[in-house]
Structure formats: C-alpha cells, structure tokens
Amino acid sequence: MSAMVAKKPRIVIIGAGMAGLTAANKLYTSPGSEELFKLCVVEGGTRIGGRINTSEFCGDRIEMGATWIHGIGGSPVHKIAQEIHSLESEQPWECMDGFLDDPLTVAEGGYELKPSLVDSISNLFGKLMEFAQGKLNEECSSNEEVNYYKLAAKAFKICASNGGPGKLSLGSFLRQGLNAYWDSVKDQEEIKGYGSWSLKLLEEAIFAMHENTQRTYTSAGDLLTLDYDAESEYQLFPGEEITIAKGYLSIIESLASVLPAGSIQLGRKVTKIEWQPNIPQSLGMENGHGTRPVKLHFCDGSTMSADHVIVTVSLGVLKAGIHEDSGKEALELEFLKDEEIINGVSATISSLLSNSRHQENSKSKEFCNGNLNSVEIPEGKEINFTKVLKSRWGTDPLFLGSYSYVAVGSSSDDLDNLAEPLPQNTSYGSNASPPLLQILFAGEATHRTHYSTTHGAYFSGLREANRLLQYYHSTGV
C-alpha cells in the first residue's frame, strides 16, 4: 500500500518591506500555522526593509526612507518600538522630534519676518486644511476675527464650479482660499522695511512655504494634482510625531526575527507572475496535493510555484511601464551630481546664516537639520558641506517613487480596488464557493485611509495575512 503524502500549500510573499514582513510575521506566529502551510518571502533587493532604510553617515545613524512615527496614539509602529525599547539610544541619531519653540522665518534678502505676519497666514493655511479634512467647525469660526469657515466655503464653491466631481484638487482649493482671504482684508496697510517685498508677496511666500511642507507630507509633486475628496478620508493618529532612536530598521528586524532562517530570500527579483483566472476553490483544494496554480518567474530565469502569493511591491513598481509625468521635480533632484548638491546646499545655508541676525545664536545651527559633524562652520560666514548621501527612491527599479497619494482623476475607491485579491469573487455564481485566493495585494498604497505610511503598510500586511488565515479556517484545508 502506498501512502499519499499531502503537500502543504505554499505561501510566497513578494517584498521584505513593512507590509511583507508584517504579513509573514502574522502568518508564521499564528497557532498551528506550521502544520497548515509553508511560507517564504522573496525580496528583489539585497536587504530587508524596503522603503525603511536606516543608514550611517559621518558617524550618525540616519534614515534614508521612513523617518517619523506619524502620531504615537494608536500607532502599531509605536507599540512595537516601545516593546523592543527602540525609542532610546546611547548612540547619536538623527533626532527630529517636535518643533522648534521659537521658529524664525527669514525672507530672501535676510529679512526676519514678524511672528504676527507669519502666524496670520499659517493660521489661514491650517484652517483651510482643516476644512478640506472636514474638521473645521462652522460655529467656532463665526466667533473669530476672520470667519475661516465662510472663507473656505467660498473657496470650495468657486473651485467646485470650475472643476466638477472628481476633478477638484487640494492645490486649487488652497489657492482660492488665499484669494478669498485677500478679498476679505483688502484694506490692509502696506508694510515697510522688507526691501522690495510687499505685504502681499510676503504673505504669498509664507503660504507657499506651507504648501511645500504639505507636498512633502503627501508626496504629491504639485498640490494641483492631489485629489481634494481623498483628503477628508485620510486619517492621522493623534499625538506626537517622533523618530526612532535605534533606527526604523529595528522595527523591521523585530518583525523578521520570528521567521526561521532561510525563509527570507534576498536578491530574488520577480519578473513575471502567472496565475489561473478560472480555477474555482474545489480545484484549489485538490491543488494542495497536485500542481500549484501560481508560477513566479525570477530575474535569473528560475521559477517557483505557489498556492498563494502576497504582492507587496510599491505602486510605482506596479505601474512601471505606464508613462507618467508626475514626480518630475524629485527625479531632477536625483540626477544632480554630488558637486552640484554640495555647492547648492552650501550656498543656500551660508546665505541664510550670514543674513540672519541670529547667526551667533547656537540655534541657527538647527537650520542644518541632520549631520552637523560633516558641516564645518568657520569664523567667516561660509559653510562647507563636504559629503553627500543620496537616496534614489524615484529611479530605483524596486521602488519607482516614495509613497502614494490619491491623484485628481482617481479616488479612494481605487485604493480598495488595489487591495482586491485575484481571481475576483464576482466571476462565480452565488452558489459556487469563492475562488482560491491566488494573488493577494498588500503595501501602503492598498490602505484606504492610512496609505503612504509605515503603519498603513503594516495594517495592509496584517489584513492580507488575516484574509489567508480566515480562508484556511473556513475551508478547513
């Protein structure tokens, strides 16, 4: 008599970033998982972490990718960091927590701006953002000197009548908001003592400064391409935004530490995935004893078969091949030579410090957010940077971008669609069992409300691991 040995289903996770390793961690640590399936992670690069990459530069630990825990209240990343004591370190690190108590705004030409001037425009910008996020209260605004709610509602109305549904950008709303503000303060007195700067130009420049900060939060090269509606769905955790003293990579290492040696395979870039659109679940279950429905092809020509694959590659990688103009500015920066960067940054910082009356104040050094060891500050006013460490997230074929945003013309529903597994459920009759989960999708760009962040990636990995665990428990495979 010959005994038939059942092959365990094989789950392959593509990508050893936050989403992939969270999924692997969850699947591997679930009770009884070793009996249920075999698991491996294939990573195209030579390191784990993906867009988390803690590095060293001139003796300091620095982050090339993810840097902050965006809001510590309820963040799973913060919870892990606390559990593994990563928030304290004896070694120097790029600490960028909190805000300067007494920030100084300097306009070109070395003109220090009065805080009241900066505050009024900063306040306006903040209120417009609150309106876009659905957080501005009409009643509270009516008691304020400027009725921001009314002003924002006016800006929204103008934009909506210009655009139509799905066409409204955050950028156009903000600019209409600034125009509405100027209309409401038409009779302001002109200011003096700022060279050729007029009040309106200064206000516009302060507003643009906030727009640029907003661009970095959202990764949109231009706020005119950022969908307005998605902004109100995006969720932030409350509390401080902090950096991780022992490095963001310590979170990744902690997630990976539970996996058996050899389960993460580096240098395994997937070039093609073949799957079977027409296999119903019944065949899939037999499949545990026969051929696996998914076939992965790697860049070295080798192949691997799998029952389930969780794809966690970035949106940029998924979209590779589609021609797009977005991110032009970031790409231009990536192509700059080291020498050009050193000269440009040295000149800008020198000019700011030499023009600032605060130059003797030690605080001025905080302009150089990051590594002061590599910056020589001589008696004169010149500062010379000597070394450059460059990331290339935009052009690296394993990333092709930094993090996702919802562009005008798309919507938050697209993020949900990205998270839908293949084959799709809809192709089967209502009485038929659901199709075998062949390809599942995780990664920050698949999370409707926390996209773009490490915790969004974490939640997406957890979601897909749970989808598979539920599938196994409900089918009893």
Ligand X SMILES: Cc1cc2nc3c(=O)[nH]c(=O)nc-3n(C[C@H](O)[C@H](O)[C@H](O)COP(=O)(O)OP(=O)(O)OC[C@H]3O[C@@H](n4cnc5c(N)ncnc54)[C@H](O)[C@@H]3O)c2cc1C
Binding site for ligand X (CB under 6 A): 14-20, 42-45, 50-52, 65-68, 70, 269-270, 312-314, 317, 393, 398-399, 402-403, 443-444, 452-454, 457
Using CB atoms within 10 A of its CB, is residue 109 exposed (0-12), middle (13-18) or buried (19+)?
A: exposed
Q: Map tokens 């989960």 to a residue.
A: 437
Q: 16 or 353, CB closer to ligand X?
A: 16
Q: 438 or 453, CB closer to ligand X?
A: 453
Q: 22 or 356, CB closer to ligand X?
A: 22
Residue 51, CB-side half-sphere exposure with 13 Å CA sphere: 32
Are 376 and 353 within 8 A, CB to CB? no
In 3D, which of 305, 293, 311, 286 has the Cα closest to residue 438? Answer: 293
Give the span between the Cα atoms of 326 and 409, in whole angstroms.
Answer: 14
Give the span between the Cα atoms of 143 and 93, in whole angstroms.
Answer: 45
Q: Give the distance, in angstroms, between the CA of residue 3 and the centroid of all CA atoms in the same chain.
A: 51
Q: 48 or 155, CB closer to ligand X?
A: 48
CB of 318 vs ligand X, minimal distance in Å: 9
Tell me the backbone φ, ψ of residue 44, rounded to 5 degrees.
Answer: -70, -30
CB of 71 vs ligand X, minimal distance in Å: 9
Cβ contacts of 12 within 8 Å, gap of 6 or more = 39, 40, 41, 42, 294, 296, 304, 306, 308, 309, 310
CB of 224 vs ligand X, minimal distance in Å: 22
CB of 474 vs ligand X, minimal distance in Å: 27
CB of 6 vs ligand X, minimal distance in Å: 29
CB of 87 vs ligand X, minimal distance in Å: 15
Q: 281 or 402, CB closer to ligand X?
A: 402
Q: 33 or 312, CB closer to ligand X?
A: 312
Give the span between the Cα atoms of 338 and 408, in whole angstroms.
Answer: 34
